[in-house]
Structure formats: structure tokens, C-alpha cells
Amino acid sequence: MATRTEVAIPRGDELPGHGSTFGAMLEEFNVAARLLKLDPGVWKILTNPKRQIVVSCPVQMDNGEIEVFTGFRVQYNITLGPAKGGIRYHPDVNLDEITALAAWMTWKCAVAHIPFGGGKGGIICDPGKMSKRELEALTRRYIAEIVDAIGPEKDVPAPDVNTNEQIMAWVMDTYSMHVGHTTTSVVTGKPVELGGSMGRREATGRGVMIATREAARHVGIDVTSARVAVQGFGNVGSVSAELLARQGARIVAVTDWKGGVYNDSGIDIAKLLAHVQQHRTVDGFSGGDPLSHDRLFSLDVDVLIPAALENQITMANASVIKARIIIEGANGPTTPDAHRHLHDRGVFIVPDILANSSGVTTSYFEWVQDRYGYFWSEKEVNERLELKMCEAFDDVLQTALKYTVDMRTAAYVVAINRVATVTKMRGMYA
């Protein structure tokens, strides 16, 4: 007969959701949980979502017809504090993906060492085909449907794919109308005029810059002369490039959805930003040579920053990568097999849940400021962010050295350990 422990510890392929996005999350989780020798009961708790809400949102469209949209809100784990995570509007949103994203938010908040659990929301819709009035009606109806589940002490949404400051303002207003008083701290990523934080727009790129600087120090590369390639020149990629250039790094290559640019002596990022403002792409920039998407990964650089989409670094291109450091600005840019291949080759990879965690850390600052009713200058926000990011980087690095594992596994070890410790302290309510 199997021992109690053998029976109780689930394997990734035995857990619900195996083979799905949630299954991919579980595979990463299980590696770290085994290293930690996680208590079997806690293992079960941490691999099940706390709450999954599915709602129907009827909306009268501009043509007079009624459409019914399906919305989700998942509170994966609220052991450390209110659930935190964005709301995405996309035709492919589904409960499995939202649950996995809510789990990843749980580990990201725990790595960042902020008092939040993990959540995520989404609505199956195609916002590109909807008018502003329809989007507002949909947002308000969705929030009305989940109003009892969210709140500053319960669950604090934020922007994600295809949602923005305006949508967060509607979220805040709808919630406030229901509770009868203005409650700015119910949502983050708001416009600064109604309780948003200074520095939020730049926060994720700033964190990527800090992670790059700390990784370079660890690997023994001088960041002030490092050669850097950046994939994606949106919020995360452009701010990372700008701040790293200010540190003295040479940004030799940038790509986006349309094309790319290469300049061996370093791209003038201010000029590139001006070009993108005008043309909405880096393609055609005169301050360098054209660069194809495929060439970006094979360039002779010290640092590669994927800051665009998921699954960009795969076994199809991992072998050509020459960078010694990869900083995952995007969520999930490296497939697990490519990650293993690169780690075995000695590439130092700073995982997404650490590298881009400054976004949620500054959301935490926004929530704190809203609750205080007292707002910090941009300088104060940036100083606090610097401290939090360096602390998180060091915690993960020391864990990687202690267990002799890669930084991704170490980040999970740090996160799971924090949530598991508090789970045990709080005990079982039954």
C-alpha cells in the first residue's frame, strides 16, 4: 500500500486542467513545490482556485439589439490579501486561461512581497468592433454583476489586454455608485486625476531596467556598456529601452509588430519614440538599418528583452540566441523547453513573475495612496519601487543559489513558500 504522503502529493499530470494553460502553470508550480517538500495538504489548497465567477452581461448595442456577453472573475488565492489582477477584453478569453492568469498573479504578488493575492477577470468580446458607448455599457454591467465580490479589501482589478485607464475609471464609478460613496481604491491603473499613481505608466519598464542592471551585476557585465536588443516597443519595451539607454547601455536593436531597426553604435531612443508617435511603428526609422523579426534573436548582444508577446523564444530559435542575459518583460515569452535549453547553456534568465512585477508593485502603491488619501511624488514612487524591486531580485537570486536552480524555479519557491507559510499560520477554518 502506498504511504500517505505518496497518495497525497499530486503530480502535474494527475491534476485537473493538465494540458491546458492552467496545466502549464501547474507544471511550473510542481517543480518548485517538490523542491520545497511542500506539505501535501497545502499543495492541494494552492493548486485549486478559491473562487471562480461566471456572469452573463446583457448589453443593448448601438443598433438596438441585445447582446449577451460572458464575463469571468477568478480569485485564485486571497491568503496574503485582496485578490489583484487585470481585466482583459478579448474574443478568446476562457475560464481556464483566466484561472491560470489569476494563479500567476498570486505568485507574482508573493514574489514582489506585496500584501495581495491573485485574481484575473475577462469578458469574451471584440472591443475593436465596439463603440465607446457599448464598451462603457458592457464594463458597467460586468462590474454590477460582480460588485459583491470586488472591493478594496476583497479584490482590486486593473487594466490588462484591451482595457485602459478610461475603462478603470468606469469600473471605479460603477462600484462607487453601488456602494454609495466614492471608492478610488477598488481598482488601480486609473487616471492620475482620479486617484491613479504617479509613475504607473513607466513602472513595468523601470522594473525591467532594474532587473537588467541587477542581473548584469550578478553575471559580471557592465550595464553602462552592455549591448541590448528589445522585442516590442510598447509600454514595457519602450520605457525599458529608454531607461537602460539613460544608464549608458547601447540599445542596438528594436522590433515591433511591423518591423525592426538595428544600429551597432546604439539607437537614439528619443528619436525612435518620436518616430513611433508619428508612424505607430519602429519600421522605417532612419536612425539605423532595417531588421527582420527573425534576426533579432541571433544578434551578438549581452541582453535580450522580450517585451511583446508570449511564446516568442522557442526551440525553433533558442539555439541561435547569443545573449548572456534574458529579461522577460512580457508574460510567458519563453517556452519551457527553450527555457531549459538556454539555462543549460548558461544563459541567465530573469522570469516574468519577477522581471515585470514592478507593474503590480506600483498598483499596490496606488491602492495604498488611495486608502491614505495622500499622494506621493513621482520621485517617492520611484524610490520605493527601486527598494521593492531590488529586494525581490535579491530574494530570488539567493534562493536560486541556495537550491542551485534557475531563477524561474527560484521565483516560484519564494512565492509558494510565502503563501504556504501564511496558509499554515492562518490554519484551517472548518
What positions carry a catalytic annotation? 120
**Residue 259 interacts with ligand NAD (CB under 6 A): yes or no:** no
- 112 is a contact residue toward ligand NAD (CB under 6 A): no
Number of other residues whose CB lies within 10 A of the CB of residue 373: 9
With CB under 6 A as the contact rule, the residue among 75, 77, 356, 369 that binds ligand NAD is 356
When asked if residue 184 is in the footprint of ligand NAD (CB under 6 A), the reply is: no
State the nearest-atom distance from the C-beta of 43 to ligand NAD, in Å: 27
Closest distance to ligand NAD from the beta carbon of 389 (Å): 13
Is residue 70 close enough to count as binding ligand NAD by CB under 6 A? no
Instruction: Answer yes or no: are the C-beta atoms of 317 and 295 closer than 8 Å.
Output: no
- Strands 260-262 and 250-255, by their bridges, are antiparallel
Give the shortest CB-404-to-ligand NAD separation in angstroms.
Answer: 28
Q: Running DSSP on this structure, what letter comes out for residue 196?
A: P
SS3 (DSSP) at 93: coil
> Considering the rule CB under 6 A, would residue 122 count as an interface residue with ligand NAD?
no
Three-state secondary structure call for residue 297 = helix
Q: Which of 396, 356, 300, 399 is nearest to 105 (CA)?
A: 356
Q: Which stretch binds ligand NAD (CB under 6 A): 22-30, 97-105, 113-121, 249-257?
A: 249-257
The CA-atom distances, in angstroms, between 286 and each of 74, 171, 237, 358 are 46, 42, 19, 33
Beta carbon nearer to ligand NAD, 79 or 188: 188
Q: Which residue is nearest to ligand NAD (CB)?
A: 234
Contact range with ligand NAD by CB under 6 A, out of 26-34, 212-220, 254-262, 374-382: 254-262
- Rounded to a whole number of angstroms, the minimum distance from the CB of residue 204 to ligand NAD is 4
Give the one residue of 221, 307, 392, 414 binding ligand NAD; rule: CB under 6 A: 307
User: From CA 55, how far away is CA 81, in angstroms rounded?
Assistant: 24
Residue type, 412: Y
- Of 51, 11, 52, give the one whose Cα is nearest residue 33: 11
Per-residue mark of binding to ligand NAD, 138-177 (x: CB under 6 A): ----------------------------------------
State how far the alpha carbon of 158 is from the alpha carbons of 18, 34, 227, 286, 383, in Å: 28, 32, 34, 37, 22
3-state secondary structure of 269: helix
176 or 317: whose CB is closer to ligand NAD? 317
Q: Is residue 81 near ligand NAD by the rule CB under 6 A? A: no
Over the window 219 to 248, marking each residue x when it contacts ligand NAD by CB under 6 A and - when it does not, the resulting string is: ------------xxxxxxx-----------
CB of 200: closest distance to ligand NAD in angstroms? 8
Asked if 295 is part of the footprint of ligand NAD (rule: CB under 6 A), the reply reads no
Tell me the Ramachandran region of residue 220: left when phi exceeds 0, alpha when psi lies from -120 to 50, beta otherwise. left
- What are the φ and ψ backbone dihedral angles of 40, each rounded to 5 degrees? -55, -35
Asked if 411 interacts with ligand NAD (CB under 6 A), we say no
Q: Which is nearer to ligand NAD, 43 or 233 (CB)?
A: 233
Q: Is 365 helix (H, G, I), strand (E, B) or coil?
A: helix
Q: How many whole angstroms separate alpha carbon 230 and alpha carbon 212? A: 12
Q: What is the CA radius of gyration of the chain?
A: 22
- Give the chain's end-to-end CA distance (angstroms, integer): 29
Q: Is 21 in the site for ligand NAD (CB under 6 A)?
A: no
Which residues are near ligand NAD by CB under 6 A? 204, 231-237, 255-257, 293, 307-309, 329-331, 356, 359
